[in-house]
C-alpha cells in the first residue's frame, strides 16, 4: 500500500486513509485472523528528505521512486488543492505514476489527486470524482475525463477516486471492505469514530449542504429546513410550510428562495431523496414502502426524482450501495 506525497500535498489526504489501513492490521490480529496478509503501508516521494505538506507539517517518506519495486498492490495519490497543478507539471512525478499504474492491482486518488492521475492519462474515458470546488477545472483541463462532483467516491475498473479530504477515509473504508469484509471495516470505523457509510448517502452534497453554500441565513428558514429533513413524509407543500411559518404562501416562497437559493419544492424533493437513499442503503424495506415513508407517494414518483437528481434508479442505487449484511 503506497501513498504518493509531494510538496504542498494535503496531510489529511495521506494520514486519514493511511491510518485506516494501519488500524485494519490491528483488528486482524485482535480477531485472530493472523494468517491473512496485512497491509504494509509505505510513503513514497520523488527523492529522500522531508516533504512539507500544505499545512506546514513535514512527512518523512519511507521510499523514493527508485526504491519502489513491482510489489506495490495499491497506489494512493494524495491531493494538494492549489499545489496539485504544480505537481501535474512535474514530468518525473507524472511519468512515475503512469509507469507504476499497470504494475499495481488498483490506483486511487484522494481529492485533487485525480489531477495527477488525469495528467498521467489514467482517467481518459473514465467516470471519476474529486473535490466539488475543483470538479469544473478537472473537466475543462482534461476533457476526456467524465467528472461527477456529487460522489463521495467512485470506482471505474481498477481506478478509484474520492471527493474532498475526509472522503478519502470513506474510500479507504470501501477498499477495506473489498479486501477484508464488513467486520474489520466496522471495527476500523468505530476506532476512527466515523460512519462506515455516511448516513447522508454516497454524495458530497445533501439538501442541507447545498443550502449552507448560499449567503446570509435566516434562523427561521434554517430551523424549518432542519425540520423538513427530519420529517420527509409530512405534508411539505408550499401552503403547509407557509402555514407552519405563519406566512402567506407567496411571501414564504419568496423568502425561502432568497435564503436558500432554491425553491421550497426543490429543497423538499432533494430532502426526500436523501432520506430515501439512507433507507435504500441501510434497510431491506421494499422500494414502494420507502417511497411512501419518504413522502413521494408512490415508487414511480421516487424513480423519476432519483433519475433526475442522481441519474440512477432506486433499484440500481440499492444494488450499488446497500450494506452487505442486508444482501
In this structure, the number of other CB atoms found within 10 A of the CB of residue 172 comes to 29
- One-character DSSP codes across 25-68: HHHHHHTT-TTSPPP--EEEESSSS-EE-TTS-EE--SEEGGG-
Element (H, E) at 3: strand 2-4
Please say if 41 is a catalytic residue. no
- CA 250, chain centre distance (Å): 37
In this structure, the number of other CB atoms found within 10 A of the CB of residue 153 comes to 24
Q: How many residues does the chain have?
A: 327
Q: Which of 252, 229, 232 has the alpha carbon at shortest distance from 242?
A: 252
Euclidean distance between CA atoms 230 and 246, whole angstroms: 20
Q: Which three cell numbers stand for residue 114?
A: 485525480
Contact 83, 114 (CB under 8 A): no
In this structure, the number of other CB atoms found within 10 A of the CB of residue 269 comes to 21
52 phi and psi angles, rounded to 5 deg: -85, 120
| Catalytic residue selected from 15, 41, 88, 111 | 111
Q: Return the beta strands (E) in 71-214 as ranges.
A: 74-77, 106-109, 127-128, 146-147, 153-156, 159-162
Q: Compute CA distances 301 → 27, 120, 267, 276, 317, whole Å.
A: 44, 42, 16, 12, 15
Residues designated as active site:
111
Amino acid at each position: 500500500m503506497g501513498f504518493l506525497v509531494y510538496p504542498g500535498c494535503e496531510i489529511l489526504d495521506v494520514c486519514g486513509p493511511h491510518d485506516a489501513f494501519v488500524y485494519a492490521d490491528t483488528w486482524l490480529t485482535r480477531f485472530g485472523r493472523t494468517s491473512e496478509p496485512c497491509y504494509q503501508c509505505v510513503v513514497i516521494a520523488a527523492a529522500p528528505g522531508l516533504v512539507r505538506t500544505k499545512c506546514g507539517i513535514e512527512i518523512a517518506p519511507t521510499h523514493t521512486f527508485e526504491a519502489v519495486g513491482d510489489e506495490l498492490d495499491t497506489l494512493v495519490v494524495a491531493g494538494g488543492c492549489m499545489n496539485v497543478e504544480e505537481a501535474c507539471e512535474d514530468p518525473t512525478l507524472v511519468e512515475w505514476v503512469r509507469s507504476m499504474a499497470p504494475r499495481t492491482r488498483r490506483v486511487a486518488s484522494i481529492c485533487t489527486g485525480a489531477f495527477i492521475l488525469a495528467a498521467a492519462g489514467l482517467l481518459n474515458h473514465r467516470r471519476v470524482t474529486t473535490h466539488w470546488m475543483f470538479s469544473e477545472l478537472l473537466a475543462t483541463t482534461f476533457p476526456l475525463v467524465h467528472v461527477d462532483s456529487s460522489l463521495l467516491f467512485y470506482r471505474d475498473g481498477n481506478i478509484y477516486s474520492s471527493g474532498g479530504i475526509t472522503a478519502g477515509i470513506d474510500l479507504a473504508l470501501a477498499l477495506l471492505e473489498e479486501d477484508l469484509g464488513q467486520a474489520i471495516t466496522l471495527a476500523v470505523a468505530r476506532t476512527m469514530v466515523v460512519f462506515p457509510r455516511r448516513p447522508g448517502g454516497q454524495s458530497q452534497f445533501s439538501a442541507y449542504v447545498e443550502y449552507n453554500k448560499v449567503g446570509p441565513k435566516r434562523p427561521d428558514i434554517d430551523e424549518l429546513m432542519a425540520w423538513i429533513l427530519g420529517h420527509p413524509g409530512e405534508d411539505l407543500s408550499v401552503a403547509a410550510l407557509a402555514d407552519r411559518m405563519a406566512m402567506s404562501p407567496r411571501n414564504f416562497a419568496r423568502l425561502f428562495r432568497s435564503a436558500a437559493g432554491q425553491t421550497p419544492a426543490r429543497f423538499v424533493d432533494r430532502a426526500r431523496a436523501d432520506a430515501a437513499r439512507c433507507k435504500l442503503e441501510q434497510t431491506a424495506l421494499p422500494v414502494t414502502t420507502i417511497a411512501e415513508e419518504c413522502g413521494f407517494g408512490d415508487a414511480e414518483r421516487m424513480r423519476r426524482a432519483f433519475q433526475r437528481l442522481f441519474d440512477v434508479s432506486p433499484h440500481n442505487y440499492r444494488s450499488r450501495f446497500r450494506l452487505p449484511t442486508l444482501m
